[in-house]
Chains A and B, each alone.
Chain A
């Protein structure tokens, strides 16, 4: 695969004594969508959180192996975790806008990064909301509270908020699982458009969503990476029986 954005070498993660990820090795290509699938507890969300060191926030976690983002091991002790998270945005299952105006939700990150010029912030807000495919819906109500938006709008606002700090990589943990089909379809369309500029990694339980939105799919089971390949191959002729059993619903 050319243009590898993230290279994972023998990455293992322990919650105390329990090994939750077992020597994961994989290459995540740049400007593509990579879907992580697998049953609950298989380690896919844990793996996703490794990519921006979110697991640092959980006590008792230890990690071995390497997670190279653009060639830099993000677990190296000289690496500044705040800088990593600036480059790697994250969108969660449940939309979590700040209890502020729509405008302030987007402007919050850039402000923290030292941008205070109103014109510059206006520009970032518009660009981010446009990229999140929600500008037309919100442009006349930027001062309204973000909490008054629908679930689907809140989630796209959160994606916009992520884009406002210009990350390279976007991690999405079940971004559409709480949304209706129309909002889901908007998020999926958005993912498709965003991959031109960003590397996207999405965790989903929805097999069809993985099939529709991703270029590559990785199947996890019990902390192991069972198979990774082009989505088209995984969903038409998977190499491993466990993958076949999972995607055809014959698991366990």
Chain B
């Protein structure tokens, strides 16, 4: 039978899964709006969900604070609670960035042409994918998935850099593209940041499972240990 404390930990885990799913939904919604998909809502849902994420983020902090004060967790429990606080923070940032993407997307004229030209749809899909994989990684506490997420993040970073490079070149020769191009660069930077936050979450899962902090390690270092 689970102890009272184990039930508290399970409750915390399920709240993080919930906030993770909400953030995943935010990213998808932002991508839909960015790619001008017909079913995309005009940002009302995303704003409402953002409030839910903020409330859950605060709730997670309160639960962690109370566990630290009252239960003095150690070993794997301690690592889980430490990670929970950090992960919640990363998720909340993913939510914020999704909102920013929606705001910037509204300033991009002739969006469809630019999206096709600079491969934005593919990058967006990859960011959706890394967000989903990160949620699974947390839900299953799968430290091994970290490597896969590292690789995906690297691909996203490279694709964003390439696209930004191309957009800047386009702006140099076509002054009409400057406003939209600038907004698109910011959107790409946001997508890249979302991917980084996902990678951070995977790192915290790795820490929880393996008791090793890999925050500033390169993926190759990690792979050589396995």
Contact B75 A249 (CB under 8 A): no
- Residue of B3, B5, B211 near A236 (CB, 8 A) is B211
B73 interfacial contact with A, CB 8 Å: yes
Q: Which residue of B lies closest to A211 (CB)?
A: B74
Min Cβ gap B119→A in Å is 43
Contact A235 B3 (CB under 8 A): no
Q: Which residue of A lies closest to B77 (CB)?
A: A248
Q: Which residue of B lies closest to A243 (CB)?
A: B75
Residues in A neighbouring B211, C-beta threshold 8 A: 236-237
63-77 of chain B: CB within 8 A of chain A: 72-77
Residues in B neighbouring A237, C-beta threshold 8 A: 75, 79, 211
Min Cβ gap A3→B in Å is 28
User: How far is A97 from B76 in the complex, measured between Cα atoms in Å?
Assistant: 42
Additional A-B contact list (13), CB under 8 Å, known A236-B78, A248-B73: A207-B74, A208-B72, A211-B74, A235-B74, A236-B211, A237-B79, A238-B75, A244-B76, A247-B75, A248-B75, A248-B76, A248-B77, A249-B5
Pull 21 A–B residue pairs with CB atoms less than 8 Å apart, ordered by A. Answer: A207-B72, A207-B74, A208-B72, A211-B74, A235-B74, A235-B78, A236-B79, A236-B211, A237-B75, A237-B211, A238-B75, A244-B75, A244-B76, A247-B74, A248-B73, A248-B74, A248-B75, A248-B76, A248-B77, A249-B5, A250-B3
Min Cβ gap A44→B in Å is 18
Produce 1/0 per residue, B44-76, CB < 8 A to A.
Answer: 000000000000000000000000000011111
Q: Which residue of B lies closest to A235 (CB)?
A: B74
Q: Which 3 A-B pairs have the closest CB atoms?
A: A237-B211, A235-B74, A247-B74
User: How far is A247 from B5 in the complex, measured between Cα atoms in Å?
Assistant: 13
